[in-house]
Chain A
Amino acid sequence: MTTATAPSPRSDPARRGIVEWLTSTDHKHVGTLYMCTSVFYFLVAGALAMVIRAQLSQPEMTLVGPHQYNEVFTLHGTAMIFLFVVPFALGLGNYLIPLQIGAPDMAFPRLNAVTYWLFFFGGLTVFSGVLVNGGAAATGWTAFAPLSGIKIATGGGQDLWIAGLLMTSVSGIFTAVNFITTTFLYRAPGMTMWRLPIFTWEMIATSLMILMAFPSLAAVLAMLYIDRHLGGQFFQAGAGGNPILYQHLFWFFGHPEVYIMILPYFGVISEIIPVFSRKPVFGYTGLVLSAFAIAGLSMGVWAHHMFTTGVVANLFFSGVSFLIAVPTGIKFFNWIGTMWKGSIVFATPMLFAIGFMLNFLIGGISGVMVASPPIDFNAEDSYFLVAHFHYVLGGGSLFAIFAAIYFWFPKVFGKMLSERLGKWVFGLLFVGFNATFFVMHFLGDMGMPRRVYTYAPLPGWGTLNLIASVGAAIMAIGVLLFAYDVVTTFFSRRYAGADPWGGYTLEWWTSSPPPEFNFTSLPPIRSERPVFDAKHPELARPKG
């Protein structure tokens, strides 16, 4: 790690006016706003998770009532998925893609700013439901019809939920168009497609999935609104509609969404592991192709969420779901191959990357289990599924997000987060996460259903739930410590310099934070790690 002198006032974001930030079209500002806003929503969603865990810490608790509990877990899931994990990836893509390909900005900077503000107001719209009659939406993040129909979900909160997600889905579609156009058309001289950093490749695959999946979400939300207020009958069985159609349309978005939430973070991990293993990435082509294999296959698995409806082709969806394990396994193989015989540095980003691999492996294996219909019939709507998807999205995406924050924070803000505190944050989150969610596998196996606001004092349930709640409290301490680290870092003098980690890709060539329009010069680009090549010409390995 190296240190440097203080950056010039012009490039120090803390000294810029708030109006300049709010009206900016600079991809770095837009990306930073995206990430900061999504972290804010993460804190809100995390606080809601603490309410859930407090309520479930003992049998027959009455901290919140059943309807309030439904609102809490609905807002928790909605915020984590739509307002944190996905937007953070889009923010990171916004910040990094132009830097990694050597471009001065995104292809459509004004559209880019519109997407951030749509996301921002979309989130506000969802949460504004708590202020209206009937309270916020209380139908889960899936809002299945007819549960979300006007006869059951009578309050305005459900409409605000629909409106908010409509805004975020349109925002996502615009962002995907921007990412693809920028990457295809704005690459620096010599930055051929096969020299793109893996993160950028993963964002292309993610963008393709967003373009295919998000219109389905927008459509189903519009149809739901029409059903609720304009006399539509799309999902009303009694009037000739079909509630299963809601599930088809929702999951045609919903399952690719899972991969939209994980592919960018596969890219993050693929950037971090080589740098801290002091080696080139192992199997570059395999990593790129596996991203597209995952993207393609994920478009054909939506109804594995519908096995128990009895009206879908279980064999087809089960088979394709199993197949996804193959390209995912290739990625794991390549990450391990990259670390193999490397001079591994266990800095905080690397610890989070390894934590990601361990947690995601557990989530992946339980995913293969529930891809089998006989197992899924038993696990459906139980805490086993809660454990599974939290291992994928919490243990996976969340750990990769922390890895990304610790890795790129110096680039974005020009200062280093504390390594000592970072390791404590990692330890607390890793222990807390596994304490919270591993026991949920057993709870599910014992038959505890998800989305219940309380439970009877059955043998073992209280103890396991208490362990989960203590684990959640440990995670909360970890998050608070992280917040403390961030705040104190802004007041510290730990200046980062352009390349504090010995990075490989172009963002490490320019100053931290980068100047307006990103680069004052570019190195020759002859491989996927041009900065390493420029600094170590004797070890450079040009690539075709």
Chain B
Amino acid sequence: MKVGRRLFVSSASFGVAIAVVYWFSSRNLDGTFLLGLMAAALTFAAGYMYVAEREARLIGDRGDATNADAAGERLGTFTTGTPWPPTIAFGAFVVLLGLAIFPALAYAGLAIVLFGLYRLGRESR
């Protein structure tokens, strides 16, 4: 996690630096705004990593860890196959097709998306 946090902090710092340099070399608002947003997003992620790092005890971070160290009663969560991801994507396809050529179709597509999300949500519990 430490490396991950450093990665995001460095990226955010770079984003701030390049936004400042860009503003002073161009006085262009569009680009500065885009770079500023990028830096803000990276700062947000870096902040989250900083908080999450305090909680995390990852076996992958320990260079001397062995398979035995990861052993335990709980294996983890394993997902089985599900038809709802293709259903959701198909619904999104119908929504956008509707918006492009026949608006009524979009409502049907939206219903498919919502139904798929509902079923996927129930299944994920």
Contact = CB atoms under 8 A, between A and B. Distances in A.
B22 A132 contact: no
Give the interface size bracket for A toward B.
Answer: 35 or more
A313 interface: yes
A532 B90 CA distance: 44
Contacts of A184: 1, 4
A82 interface: no
A307 interface: no
B91 to A, nearest CB: 9
B38 interface: yes
A193 interface: yes
Interface residues of B, number: 57
Contact of B93 (A167, A186, A190, A252): A167
B105 to A, nearest CB: 12
B72 to A, nearest CB: 12
B90 A189 contact: no
B79 A110 contact: yes
Nearest to B10: A292
A243 to B, nearest CB: 12
B89 A23 contact: no
Contact of B90 (A26, A117, A195, A229): A117
Given A118-B92, A212-B38, A316-B25, A160 B97 contact: yes
A296 B11 contact: yes
Contacts of A479: none
A274 to B, nearest CB: 21
Main SS of the interface on chain A? helix
Interface string A130-167: 00100000000000000000000000100110111011
A244 B25 CA distance: 19
A99 to B, nearest CB: 15
A163 B86 contact: no
A156 B98 CA distance: 11
B97 A163 contact: yes
Contact of A190 (B65, B79, B120): B65
Contacts of A128: 97
B11 A187 contact: no
B35 A299 contact: yes
Contacts of B61: 187, 192-193
Interface string B24-38: 011010110011001
Contacts of A160: 96-97, 100-101
Contacts of A132: 100-101
Contacts of B58: 185, 187
B26 A313 contact: yes
Residue among B11, B59, B88, B93 with the most chain A CB within 10 A?
A: B93
Nearest to B123: A110
Given A104-B76, A296-B11, A113 B82 contact: yes
A535 to B, nearest CB: 17
Interface in B61-113: 61-67, 69-70, 76, 78-86, 88-90, 92-93, 96-97, 99-101
Contacts of A248: 30-31, 34
A455 interface: no
Interface string B1-23: 10110010011001100100110
Given A23-B81, A292-B7, A118 B89 contact: yes
B80 A25 contact: yes
Residue among B3, B80, B81, B82 with the most chain A CB within 10 A?
A: B81
B114 interface: no
Contacts of A122: 93
Contact of B60 (A191, A225, A302): A191
A64 interface: no
Given A248-B31, A313-B22, A121 B63 contact: no
A120 interface: yes
A25 B86 CA distance: 11
A391 B86 CA distance: 36
Nearest to B90: A121
Given A156-B101, A303-B31, A312-B26, A167 B65 contact: no
B96 A110 contact: no
B85 A110 contact: yes
A208 interface: yes
B79 A109 contact: yes
Nearest to A252: B34
Contacts of A474: none
Contact of B85 (A25, A190, A195, A292): A25
Contacts of B123: 110
B3 A113 contact: no
Contacts of B62: 189-190, 192
A316 B124 contact: no
Contact of A522 (B25, B63, B67, B89): B67
A36 interface: no
Nearest to A542: B63
Contact of B15 (A299, A302, A521): A299
A517 B76 CA distance: 11
A315 B123 CA distance: 55
A320 B18 CA distance: 10
Interface of A: 20, 22-26, 101, 104-105, 109-110, 113-114, 116-118, 120-122, 124-125, 128, 132, 156, 159-160, 162-164, 166-167, 184-195, 204, 208, 211-212, 216, 225, 229, 244-245, 248-249, 252, 292, 296, 299-300, 302-303, 312-313, 315-316, 320, 517, 521-522, 524, 526, 544
Given A23-B81, A117-B86, A517-B78, 13 more contacts: A117-B85, A117-B90, A132-B101, A160-B96, A163-B96, A189-B65, A189-B70, A194-B3, A229-B99, A303-B31, A313-B26, A316-B21, A522-B67
Q: Which 9 A-B pairs have the closest CB atoms?
A: A187-B60, A117-B89, A313-B26, A163-B96, A159-B100, A113-B85, A189-B65, A121-B93, A193-B3
22 contacts: A20-B81, A22-B86, A25-B80, A109-B79, A110-B124, A117-B86, A117-B90, A121-B89, A121-B93, A125-B97, A128-B97, A156-B100, A185-B60, A187-B59, A188-B60, A189-B66, A195-B63, A212-B38, A229-B99, A252-B34, A526-B63, A544-B63
